[in-house]
């Protein structure tokens, strides 16, 4: 991978206020995935490809990443970035709404990274559980959403997002097949290991 290009991609995304993965969140995921050496990763929410490009470093030798993005402009930029970073052979982008695309995928993944519409997290979880391999890990970014999720916050237009993020936490916590931690890194990260 071309690290110099990766740094440029990161700076440009930050300047344009694209919500890329935060450094401390990436460090935690790195700690998990460096050991696992996943062969296949599924990402929901590509944006401009920054996190997917970072994740290529953790893949096993012939590993690959499938990532989904619905914003046409971002897909275009992600493709350019993936090329610049020299990881085209490792990342496959599905263009469109993950709500429609996920049910059409029938592959197995070692890790899933959920990082898209917060109101859809329970649905993304259901699809991730269908496709995750035994002993795989599901990460969900922005799970604490600026602290709203664990506070008594229930006004405002973000209400649906907050309700669905709470529902996600409840489901992963109550599922007897999952071992879950909720970390306060970045905007909150849920890590669920399939047992
Ligand atoms: N993972 C990226 C950041 C993703 S930001 C990184 O860390 O670099 C979230 C992205 O999810 C946005 O680009 C948004 O367009 C996309 N998104 C939101 N809801 C989606 C959906 N239902 N289907 C596909 N993409 C979605
Ligand atoms: Mg995020």
Q: What pLDDT sits at residue 147? A: 85
Residue 156's region, left for phi above 0, alpha for psi from -120 to 50, else beta, is: left
- Determine if ligand 1 sits within 6 Å of the CB of residue 70: yes
| CA of 138 relative to ligand 2 center, distance in Å | 14
Query: What are the strands, taking DSSP E only, across the chain?
Result: 40-44, 64-69, 91-95, 109-114, 132-141, 178-183, 189-194
Q: Which of 69, 121, 140 to mutate to test the pocket of ligand 1 (most atoms within 8 A of CB)?
A: 69
Sheet of strand 178-183: strand arrangement: 91-95, 64-69, 40-44, 109-114, 132-141, 189-194, 178-183
Which atom in ligand 1 lies closest to the alpha carbon of residue 120?
Answer: 22
Q: Answer yes or no: are the C-beta atoms of 44 and 98 closer than 8 Å.
A: yes
Which ligand has the nearest atom to the CA of 41? 1
Q: Which of 12, 70, 128 to mutate to test the pocket of ligand 1 (most atoms within 8 A of CB)?
A: 70
CA–CA dist 66, 1 (Å, integer): 17
b/e 164-178 (16+ beta carbons within 10 angstroms → b): bbbebbebbeeeeeb
C-alpha distances (whole Å) from 86 to each of 4, 6, 19, 62, 81 are 11, 10, 22, 15, 8
Per-residue pLDDT of the chain (195 residues; tens, 9 = 90+): 999 999 999 999 999 999 999 999 999 999 999 989 999 999 999 999 999 999 999 999 999 999 999 999 999 999 999 999 999 999 999 999 999 999 999 999 999 999 999 999 999 999 999 999 999 999 999 999 988 888 876 666 688 899 999 999 999 999 999 999 999 999 999 999 999
| CA of 36 relative to ligand 2 center, distance in Å | 22
Which atom in ligand 1 lies closest to the alpha carbon of residue 19?
Answer: 5
Which ligand has the nearest atom to the CA of 140? 2
């Amino acid at each position: 991978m071309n690290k110099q290009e990766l740094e440029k991609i990161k700076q440009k995304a930050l300047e344009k206020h694209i919500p890329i993965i935060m450094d401390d969140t990436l460090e935690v995921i790195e700690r998990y995935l460096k050991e696992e050496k996943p062969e296949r990763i599924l990402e929901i929410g590509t944006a401009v490809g920054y996190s997917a490009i970072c994740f290529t470093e953790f893949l096993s030798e012939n590993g690959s990443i499938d990532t989904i993005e619905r914003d046409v402009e971002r897909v275009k930029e992600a493709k350019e970035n993936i090329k610049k970073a020299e990881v085209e052979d490792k990342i496959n982008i599905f263009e469109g709404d993950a709500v429609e695309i996920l049910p059409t995928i029938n592959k197995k993944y070692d890790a899933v990274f959920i990082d898209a519409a917060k109101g859809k997290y329970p649905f993304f979880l259901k699809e991730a559980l269908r496709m995750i391999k035994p002993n795989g890990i599901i990460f969900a970014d922005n799970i604490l959403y600026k602290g709203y999720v664990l506070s008594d916050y229930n006004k405002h237009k973000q209400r649906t997002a907050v309700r669905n993020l709470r529902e996600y936490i409840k489901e992963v916590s109550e599922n007897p097949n999952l071992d879950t931690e909720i970390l306060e890194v970045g905007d909150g990260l849920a890590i669920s290991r399939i047992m």
